Structure 1
Amino acid sequence: MSIFLYACESWTLSADTERRIRAMEMRCYRRLLGITYKDHITNEEVSRRIENAIGPHVDLLTIVRQRKLKWYGHTTRSPGLAKTIMQGTVNGGRRRGKQKKRWEDNIKEWTGLELRNILRKAEDREEWKSVVGRSSAAPRRIPNLRDR
């Protein structure tokens, strides 16, 4: 677990990355329970068995989001190179076409706030803790058409 989460604060999470994190977590659960894919047991059933075995737990995607949001608040409150790099801008614009997701886009998306409001809230530690708690919960997988 700690190997997986190493430096996760610096990741930019796209939809594909989130899907891969969920898949890796499910593979780990299946391995712990000794369940193979040949057993034809659904992911929901595997999750239920893990809940029964270890009790309530936080999924990996939520942990990654919490760590990233906490690190953002920490660096925003501290004077230093990390804050300068994180909030700094480079002359010029972005390339043409569909834009790649940026690190700060995750923060904006999860909190639902504009950058200036995020910076203001991150300056107050207690207020930022409440934002992290509200924003870090990862939504469950959206069912595909074949699941219906």
Structure 2
Amino acid sequence: MRCYRRLLGISYTQHITNMEIRQRISQAIGRHDDLLTIVKKRKLRWYGHITRSSGLAKTILQGTVQGGRKRGRPKKRWEDNIQEWTQLRLSETVRAAEDRERWRELVDRSSVVPQRPSGVMG
């Protein structure tokens, strides 16, 4: 929101709501995807690309590098996000990524972010 306000030349002292700022940005740039949607799409596309390849990135992504993590709560992994967004098990995502057309459809379906109710600020 700070970036949007700066782009529009609006300071916090002017007491303009975040919803009003979003409306002004939408009017200025037209229809656009939500930032979270863009991040999901790019992450899913890259996952499919790397899954179809064979190289260091695939080795790192699949977690086959030796070593371990420190104790404590496990960190969220790329694969955790992929499974959460696609609603598929890891083995199913790997098989789906091998078929580019199927993966593209899955990316389009999985990257949709539910809209917030109009009264919720974020």
CA RMSD for the aligned pairs?
Answer: 2.5
| In structure 1, C-alpha distance between the alignment counterparts of 2:59 and 2:73, rounded to whole Å | 27
TM-score (norm 2): 0.81
Q: Secondary structure at the match of 1:41?
A: coil
The number of residues matched between the two structures is 120
Query: In the alignment, which of 97, 100, 120 is matched to residue 95 of structure 2?
Result: 120
Question: Which residue of structure 1 aligns with residue 9 of structure 2?
Answer: 34
Following TM superposition, by how much is the alpha carbon of 1:97 offset from its aligned partner in structure 2, in angstroms? Answer: 5.2
Following TM superposition, by how much is the alpha carbon of 1:93 offset from its aligned partner in structure 2, in angstroms? Answer: 7.8
| Percentage of pairs with the same residue | 66
Q: Aligned letter for 2:13?
A: K
Which structure has the larger Rg?
2
1:92-107 alignment runs, 5 A limit: 98-107=73-82
| In structure 1, C-alpha distance between the alignment counterparts of 2:83 and 2:93, rounded to whole Å | 8
Question: Which residue of structure 1 aligns with residue 47 of structure 2?
Answer: 72
Following TM superposition, by how much is the alpha carbon of 1:141 offset from its aligned partner in structure 2, in angstroms? Answer: 5.1
Query: In the alignment, which of 37, 43, 47 is matched to residue 62 of structure 1?
Result: 37
Segments of structure 1 that go 5 or more residues without pairing to the other structure are 1-25
TM-score (norm 1): 0.69
The Cα offsets for residues 56-93 of structure 1, whole Å up to 9 and x where unpaired, read as 01222221211111110001111222222222436788
